[in-house]
């Protein structure tokens, strides 16, 4: 399976294009400390990334033994957004091979979209900071639709905006959310071996391929 076999490639952001865990972990710890909760190391934070901000904060607060999860989530969320807005992109890095693969798609007329559960206030600035935004004529963020991944709505929306048949799209991601969304949309799904899989062996979910670098699709 190669990128050139598809009309469009829909890529996840965090854990697929960019390792954003350092910024997220630092912002999370700032927010937790500000609100009087324990902080956590980056490797534990990595295992919580992939289902959006609310789920990230919920997991952190459960680990911190919050007595009132609903109230605590809103308090920490405000502090997290404020901190992450300042940190977004500072310590994140683009995964090896990403730029080469995106350039290949541009040169060969393969349409690209970035589909992420990350809020739009952070997704576009992060892509711009890493000089990747120019590759994506379509960016679907978590607050652009009613239902985030694993619901297929975001993928259908990306295909519609790119004016391609959903069946001609390849989804590339790193988590169970990406796999389930792609399968619900009847799109092929290729999982990367790095990223934030939350300990789930994605090969058990019936993925179409697993790669160590996005450039594997064009090699």
Which among 5, 12, 100, 208 is annotated as catalytic?
A: 12
CA angle 50, 54, 57 (to 5 degrees): 90
- Whether 202 and 124 map to the same domain: the answer is yes
- Whether 159 and 191 map to the same domain: the answer is yes
Encode pLDDT of 24-77 as tens digits: 999 999 999 999 999 999 999 999 998 888 889 999 999 998 888 888 889 999
- Whether 183 and 145 map to the same domain: the answer is yes
How many domains does the chain divide into? 2
Residue range(s) defining the domain that contains residue 79: 21-87
- Whether 194 and 102 map to the same domain: the answer is yes
Tokens coding 128: 């711009």
CATH at 148: 3.40.50.1000
| Cβ–Cβ < 8 Å for 4, 108 | yes
Encode pLDDT of 148-195 as tens digits: 999 999 999 999 999 999 999 999 999 999 999 999 999 999 999 999
Encode pLDDT of 2-11 as tens digits: 888 899 999 9
Question: Does 12 qualify as catalytic in the annotation?
Answer: yes
- Whether 164 and 182 map to the same domain: the answer is yes
| Cβ–Cβ < 8 Å for 127, 114 | yes
Domain termination residue (choose one: 70, 87, 104): 87
- Whether 35 and 12 map to the same domain: the answer is no
Residue given tokens 């295909």 in the structure block: 159
CATH at 42: 1.10.150.240
- Whether 145 and 186 map to the same domain: the answer is yes
| Cβ–Cβ < 8 Å for 160, 181 | no
Encode pLDDT of 85-132 as tens digits: 999 999 999 999 999 999 999 999 999 999 999 999 999 999 999 999
Domain termination residue (choose one: 59, 87, 115): 87
């Amino acid at each position: 399976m190669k990128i050139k076999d598809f009309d469009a490639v829909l890529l996840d952001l965090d854990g697929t294009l960019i390792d954003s865990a350092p910024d997220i972990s630092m912002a999370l710890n700032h927010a937790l400390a500000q609100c009087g909760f324990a902080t956590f190391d980056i490797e534990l934070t990595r295992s919580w990334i992939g289902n959006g901000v609310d789920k990230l904060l919920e997991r952190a607060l459960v680990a911190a033994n919050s007595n009132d999860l609903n109230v605590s989530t809103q308090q920490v969320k405000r502090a997290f957004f404020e901190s992450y807005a300042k940190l977004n992109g500072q310590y994140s890095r683009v995964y090896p091979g990403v730029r080469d693969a995106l350039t290949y798609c541009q040169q060969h007329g393969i349409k690209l979209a970035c589909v992420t559960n990350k809020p739009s206030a952070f997704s576009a600035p992060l892509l711009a900071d890493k000089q990747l935004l120019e590759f994506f004529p379509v960016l679907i963020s978590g607050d652009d639709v009613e239902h985030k991944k694993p619901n297929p709505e975001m993928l259908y929306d990306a295909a519609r905006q790119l004016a391609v048949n959903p069946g001609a799209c390849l989804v590339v991601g790193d988590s169970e959310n990406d796999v389930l969304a792609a399968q619900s949309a009847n799109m092929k799904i290729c999982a990367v071996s790095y990223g934030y899989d939350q300990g789930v062996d994605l090969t058990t979910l019936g993925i179409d391929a697993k790669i160590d670098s996005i450039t594997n699709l064009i090699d």
